[in-house]
Structure 1
Amino acid sequence: MGFSPSLLDGKKILITGAGKGIGRACALMASECGAQVIAVARTESDLKGMQECCTGSVEYWVGDVTRDELCNRIHNLDSLDGLINNAGLNRVAPMIEQTDENIDAVIQLNIRSAYKIAQAAISPMLRAQSGSIVNMSSQMGFVGSPGRTLYCMSKHAIEGLTKAMAVELGVSNIRVNTVAPTFIKTPMTEPMLDDPEFRKMVMSNIPLNHLGTVDDVANACIFLLSSLSNTTTGSCVKVDGGWTAH
């Protein structure tokens, strides 16, 4: 880790989807930087495993980002300094084959719950008189891709939401940005990347010619949560190896 272990001292940071992959890496790194982390996921065993690896302060909440109970719990926090709005899913299929269930699932988790979690976080951030929200986007929030109409739709929506939030909340000293990774090897993407043809397609679109890691994404998130990005809002940090530069 290249950051100071006191970079986030005294800051309370909530991270959704924190049991695995990118969310887990963000929780561990935020804790190593001195934050009081609230890690949220649906699976307690994942959260316990993450907590056992952590050297800093991590409290975990077993909760579903699509449920009002979690939003109410966030809303009622005394204060909150940062949010990494990370929970999400993908349903890959040609558009003509996408089912209503897939459409509803992606909209519910990737758009509606992201909106509701961010909305809930505003109140404790106002009580703290400042805050930083990082909405997890994707390179697919800037480009299109076959079989990914639902995911692209949802991440383009996150980019638009983030800009609007940044404009609206700036007067309250709340910053809002996105991080947009390329394909990162996580439990969600690993089966896809194991397909040689798919991996070849991915690598042909990354000028740096290597996949990113979960820590690469976490580094960008920590930067945006910290005072290092004090005047950065309504922006995106692309961790995409140059994919969207084509």
Structure 2
Amino acid sequence: MTPAATVPTELPTETTATSVESLFRIEGQTAVVTGASKGIGLATATLLARAGADVVGVSTTMPDGVSDARAAVEAAGRTFTPIAADLSDRGVVADLAARLAALEVDVLVNNGGTIRRAPAADHSDEDFDEVMDINLRGAWVLSREVGRGMLARGRGKIVNTASMLSFQGGINVPGYTASKSALAGLTKALANEWAGRGVNVNAVAPGYVATANTDPLRADAERSAAILDRIPAGRWATPDDIAGAVLYLSAPASNYVHGAILPVDGGWLAR
């Protein structure tokens, strides 16, 4: 007779509370967050600092002195390095990439982005180009330059901010949709090349988030009601909702996750 299986009376050490917590700690690491002055970027910088990272916060309007980002990061007991950089300016992006490449960056969060709303027939080349430069080209250049150092060290996490419009077409945002669809593709392309070399490249795909970018939608009572009716969770996301997913993709818990585009949308895409 085969003896009955023995059920362990205690969990293995690798699943104790201490090690579970460590799956979401990035103690002593350096994290770069673009678009860090507000919204998702600010929430992400704050949470990564609480998880143990020193933060380099990049934003067009990031001051050297007092800022919400600095206050949040330093309140978590971590150091904050501010960098003001306009991601629509290719020369500025090149300089930023060189500066970041000189650091030992453990986590790069390409969150800086913009949106321009106009029907496709009226969408200007200037608006299209600016959105593509900020949302896509900036993320590409920073990933390439910072990624080289990660590859040399054999470790690193890159997290891009994609969108549910990486999966859908949207309305009146052709440039934004094009940029976010391309960013999802870039995420997968980099993951294919770098996964075997210790670098994780993934993306979060936020749904409708209560930020400045969505102010016009939330101000339109009819459109806002239609959006909420489509979201199974029944509410707009907060920046903190997205930051939690970014932390997961930045931490050891996601070490075997490569090329994923993680929807954080309250169930929108499942509807």
Q: d(CA) in 2 for partners of 1:198 and 1:75?
A: 43
Q: In percent, how many aligned pairs have the same letter?
A: 34
Q: 1:100 maps to which residue?
A: 125
1:34 aligned partner = 52
TM superposition score normalised by structure 1? 0.93
Structure 1 residues 106-185: aligned runs within 5 Å: 106-185=131-210
Pick aligned residue for 1:50 from 69, 79, 86: 69
Where does the alignment leave 5 or more consecutive residues of structure 1 unmatched? none
Shifted more, 195-204 versus 14-23: the winner is 195-204
1:225 aligns with 2:236: no
Count of aligned pairs between the two proteins: 243
Distance in 2 between residues matched to 1:198 and 1:114, nearest whole Å: 31
User: What TM-score do the two structures reach when normalised by structure 2?
Assistant: 0.85
- For 1:245 and 1:144, how far apart are their aligned partners in 2? 16
List per-residue Cα deviations over 1:10-45 (Å, max 9, x = no partner): 211111010110000000110011101111112134
CA contact (8 A) 2:157 2:250 kept: yes
Q: Give the C-alpha shift of residue 47 in structure 1.
A: 6.8
Point out the more displaced range, 42-51 or 117-126.
42-51
Question: What's 2:86 paired with?
Answer: 64
Residues 41 and 47, structure 1, Cα contact 8 Å, conserved in 2: no
Structure 2 CA distance for aligned equivalents of residues 88 and 105 of structure 1: 10
Give the ranges of 4+ consecutive aligned residues of structure 1 lying more than 6 Å apart after TM superposition: none
Q: Report if aligned partners of 2:151, 2:194 keep a CA contact under 8 Å in 1.
A: no
Matched, 1:16 2:16: no
- Alignment of 1:73 with 2:99, yes or no, is yes
Task: Specify whether residues 96 and 47 from structure 1 end up closer, same or farther in structure 2 by C-alpha distance, changes over 3 A only.
Answer: farther
Q: Could you report, residue by residue, the CA deviation over 1:133-170 in whole angstroms, capped at 9, with x for unpaired residues? A: 00100111101222122111111101110000000111
Contact 1:14/1:40 (<8 A) preserved: yes
User: Equivalents in 2 of 1:81, 1:8: separation in Å?
Assistant: 9
SS of corresponding position for 1:143:
coil
Mean Cα displacement is larger for which, 88-97 or 122-131? 122-131
Deviation of the 1:192 alpha carbon: 2.3
Larger Rg computed on CA atoms: 2
Please give the alpha-carbon distance, in whole angstroms, between the structure 1 residues aligned to 2:242 and 2:112: 14
Q: Which residue number in structure 2 is paired with residue 197 of structure 1?
A: 222
Please tell me the root mean square deviation across aligned C-alpha atoms, in Å. 1.7
What stretches of structure 2 of length at least 5 have no aligned partner? 1-19
Match of 1:237 among 246, 255, 262: 262
Distance in 2, matches of 1:184 and 1:151, equals 15
- Secondary structure class of the residue paired with 2:28: coil
